[in-house]
Amino acid sequence: MKDLQGAVRLAIAYVGLSAGLLPAVARLGRADGHTIAQAAGADIGYVVRWCDAAYAFELLDERPEGFVLTDLGQAFLPEAPGTLMPFAVQEVLTAHIAERAAGLMKTGERPGESVLAERATILPWFGPMLEAQFGPVFEKTIMPAVPVYERAAGRGGFVIDLGCGNGWYLMRLARAYPRLRCLGIDGFDENIRQGQARAKAAGVDDRVRFAKGDIYGFESPEPADIIALNRALHHVWDEKETVFRILHDHLKPGGAAVIWEPHWPAERTALREPGRRMVAFQNLTEHVQGNHFLRPTEIASAFRTAGLVPEVYDFLDGREAVVVGTRP
């Protein structure tokens, strides 16, 4: 029952985020259900019932002048330090994929990445969810520890991010290294829209661009100093010989492919560790999409086969791996 109530709390927070109700209460300070509905452009009948649920699960408190956000409710706002937003989004995404996996068990069908776009409210939050989860790790831990970024920046290099999502990776690189030029490629229109809007708002759209496409059909305007695939290689692993040939051929001499992947453990017993439990379920969701998680040794071997020199970096107690393949 405690686990169920935790999941329900996350679902209520997700509704509040997706419908703009939590941000509306944050802007208003305190308000009744009718005022919240008006501020969020939402139906009053749904909003007053959401307010009751959010109050019951301690996301809202009630004052004489109306509802206010609790500290917990504040923590789900996307701009909150260490925001809890990713947990709310992941809970709803998990329920969606679990239902799809249950229905596909008998047929063996694997619909692919289109399942991420089957629920209209989820896809706009997918990029922000990943950014909140992994952006700080990249900026504070990975970027300083992997020298390829500094080398590329020193020569005013060109970076391509394949499967760029909402552009969070490139935006952080562009902020840290003002001489870098960047191109993000993604297959979802929503992600391209978010990336372009963010680059323009930050005033870096002259050197951070986004385009729709995929790894098989993109045409680089020049050989790249870095080609990044962030938690994306497993989506194209079935075609790894083609993928690694494309990476090799689009890199300049001395350039590198930088692959960031969850580190699938060598022993099943490691999946019982609290920090690794989610990756076991995520591997089931990846099967729905036609994928599976990888071990760094597999990626390093594919680099060698393609004529690239691999280096493996482990992060977060071995739960995440960055594998760099440099073209001689």
Other C-beta atoms closer than 10 Å to the C-beta of 312 total 15
Neighbours of 274 (CB within 10 A): 6
The reported pLDDT for the residue numbered 147 is 97
Separation of alpha carbons 133 and 296, rounded Å: 21
Number of domains the chain contains: 2
Non-local CB neighbours of 220 within 8 Å, separated by 6+ positions: 160, 183, 250
Same domain, 313 and 257: yes
CB atoms within 10 A of CB 313: 16
CATH number of domain containing 58: 1.10.10.10
CATH classification of the domain holding 183: 3.40.50.150
Domain check: are 253 and 151 in the same one? yes
Quick check: is 220 in a domain? yes
Q: Looking at residues 243-263, what average pLDDT do you find?
A: 96
Domain that holds residue 15: 2-93
Whether residues 89 and 130 share a domain: the answer is no
Chosen domain end from 93, 117, 149? 93
Angle at 308 between CA 302 and CA 313, to 5 degrees: 75
Does one domain contain both 134 and 83? no
- CB burial of 10-40 (b: ≥16 within 10 Å; e: otherwise) equals bbbbbbbbbbebbbbbbebebbebebbbebb
**88 and 141 co-located in one domain:** no
117 pLDDT above the threshold of 90: no
Structural domain contains residue 218: yes
| Dihedral sign for Cα atoms in the order 21, 23, 28, 29 | positive
pLDDT on residue 123: 87
pLDDT score for 114:
85
Does a structural domain hold residue 119? no
Per-residue confidence (pLDDT) for residue 43, from 0 to 100: 98
By DSSP bridging, strand 208-212 and strand 181-186 are parallel
Question: Is 177 found in the same domain as 292?
Answer: yes
| Residue 8: inside a domain | yes
Mean pLDDT of 314-328: 96
What pLDDT score was predicted for residue 218?
Answer: 84
Maximum distance among all alpha carbons in the chain?
Answer: 69
In angstroms, rounded to a whole number, what is the distance separating the alpha carbons of residues 7 and 91? 7
Residue 13's pLDDT is: 98
Domain assignment present for 106 = no
Region 176-205 average pLDDT: 94
Q: Rg of the chain's alpha carbons, rounded to an integer?
A: 21
Residues of the chain with pLDDT > 90, as a percent, come to 91
Say yes or no: 286 and 159 in one domain: yes
Single-letter amino acid code for the residue at 136: P
Give me the mean pLDDT over the 196-215 stretch: 94
| 200 in the same domain as 88 | no
Residue 141 lies in a domain: yes
In a domain, 216, yes or no: yes
Element (H, E) at 248: helix 240-250
Res. 290: pLDDT tops 90: no
**How does pLDDT run across 126-157, given as a tens digit for each residue?**
999 999 999 999 999 999 999 999 999 999 99
84 and 217 inside one domain? no
Q: Give yes or no: residues 195 and 299 share one domain.
A: yes
100-116 pLDDT, tens digit each: 999 999 999 999 888 88
Q: How confident is the model at residue 219 (pLDDT cuts 50, 70, 90)?
A: confident
Percent of the chain with pLDDT over 70: 100
Q: What is the mean pLDDT of the chain?
A: 95
| 141 and 251 both lie in a single domain | yes
Q: Would 116 be classed as within a structural domain?
A: no
Token duo for residue 29: 């300070």
Residues 45 and 183 in one domain: no
Instruction: Write the CA distances from 7 to 94, 257, 323, integer angstroms.
Output: 11, 38, 35
pLDDT-derived band at 312, boundaries 50, 70, 90: very high
